[in-house]
Amino acid sequence: MDDGVCRRRRAWQRCVWPRAQQWSDGIGPWDFSIDARYFSDPYNVYFTTDRPIYRPGQTVFYKAILRLDDDARYSLYTGASKLRVAVQDPQGKEVYSDTLTVSQDMATINGQFDLDDQAALGYYSLHTTLDAAPLQQRGSSGREYGIGFLVAAYVRPEFLVNVTTDKLAYTQGDQINVDVQSSYYFGGPVTDAKVDWNVISSPYYLEYKGQGYYDWADTDNFYSRGQLGGGGVIASGSGKTDSTGHFVTQVKADLGKNDFSQRFSIEAVVTDINDRVVANRIEAVAHQGAFYIGLQPERYVAKVGDKASVNVKTVDWTATTPASRISSSRSTSATGTMCKSRRAAGRCGR
């Protein structure tokens, strides 16, 4: 296999290619925080509505700008002179449609429609379909473009709720100090109001943006419970605001049985004396340790008994490197060996 040729004893056997890196390592668009697609889209369509949320009975104004996209070289859309626009309600039922003329000078369409007074509440989709471009294969049904908006029976709140913590990130076992502040829009505090709070956890993954690919999770199976663990309410309580409109409580950064870091969503619901309810939330991360350990094997396939070279990198919570890269050779599990050595000096983060 060293000559680049895959040899199989049986026709049904797969080839396993040993490699240290992918050809795109360090030069992929994700290395520069650039969105990328693996298909060619001949159009770029920008839809907009005058607001993101409406009440039943209100009027929705919309507009779309249509451009031909030749590898980021834009030109006016020159396809069909008329386009059909449709709106679907949360149940998928079409509640509006119209055929609009594309303006010749700017390649745009615009229109409006009235929501029914008994319109269903929820998320609506507004869309149009452009025919296939000349360079696309025949028989293509074209591409659909659109935007969504929300229909809700909402009222303007009478007071404001803010939730803050003393820090944005913690080490497991730390105490999270939570402060709920409630005040009327005219400036006065919401006193003696009921506060219901809860903490919901979800998995936290380190967003490493340095060079090369490193595995930061201490699990043998990506689909195991450990990797997908977390979630659900882990703490809850209630109380009342004081004379200044504040309610203070403490939450322990407890990871429970989860074997890696968690993101805590701390939500507070405040009910005033008139039974008006306003809620808000804040997020904080409970890290498993003071730093993370990343492993990068130089080869993904090795013979039994051979030494496997593994690059080890440690980073802090911000994913910057506080220590030099270490190159280590192990004939056994590098993950278990490195974490054991780290636990002697401190907790082994994931």
The rounded average pLDDT for each run of 10 residues, N- to C-terminus, in the chain (350 residues) is 45 44 71 73 90 96 93 87 95 95 94 96 95 52 88 90 95 95 94 96 87 77 52 89 96 86 95 93 93 88 87 87 48 39 37
CATH number of 43-151: 2.60.40.1930
Residue 293 CA, chain-centre distance (Å), reads 23
In this prediction, residue 17 carries a pLDDT of 44
In this prediction, residue 81 carries a pLDDT of 92
Taking residue 98's Cβ as centre, other Cβ atoms within 10 Å add up to: 13
Beta-carbon contacts of residue 340 (< 8 Å; ≥ 6 apart) = none
- C-alpha torsion 161→205→285→282, nearest 10: 0
Pick the CATH number of 159-287 from 3.40.50.300, 3.40.30.10, 3.40.1080.10, 2.60.40.1940: 2.60.40.1940
In the 3-class helix/strand/coil scheme, how is the chain assigned residue by residue?
CCCCCCCCCCCCCCCCCCCCCCCCCCCCHHHHCCCCCCCCCCEEEEEEECCCEECCCCEEEEEEEEEEEECCEEEECCCCCEEEEEEECCCCCEEEEEEEECCCCCCEEEEEEECCCCCCCEEEEEEEEECCCCCCCCCCCCEEEEEEEEECCCCCCCEEEEEEECCCEEECCCEEEEEEEEEECCCCECCCCEEEEEEEEEECCCCCCCCCCCECCCCCCCCCHHHHCCCCEEEEEEEECCCCCEEEEEEECCCCCCCCCEEEEEEEEEECCCCCEEEEEEEEEEECCCCEEEEEECCCCCCCCCCEEEEEEEECCCCCCCCCCEEEEECCCHHHHHHHHHHCCCCCEC
Residue-range domain boundaries for the chain = 43-151, 159-287, 292-343
Task: Count the alpha carbons within 13 Å of 169 in the hemisphere toward its beta carbon.
Answer: 11
In this prediction, residue 87 carries a pLDDT of 97
Domain 43-151 and domain 159-287 have a common topology: yes
Q: Is the pTM of this model over 0.85?
A: no
User: What are the residues facing 209 on neighbouring strands?
Assistant: none
Q: Calculate Rg over the CA atoms of the chain.
A: 28
| Rounded to 5°, angle at Cα 260 from 259 and 261 | 140
In this prediction, residue 320 carries a pLDDT of 74
In this prediction, residue 96 carries a pLDDT of 96
Taking residue 270's Cβ as centre, other Cβ atoms within 10 Å add up to: 26
In this prediction, residue 302 carries a pLDDT of 83
In this prediction, residue 250 carries a pLDDT of 95
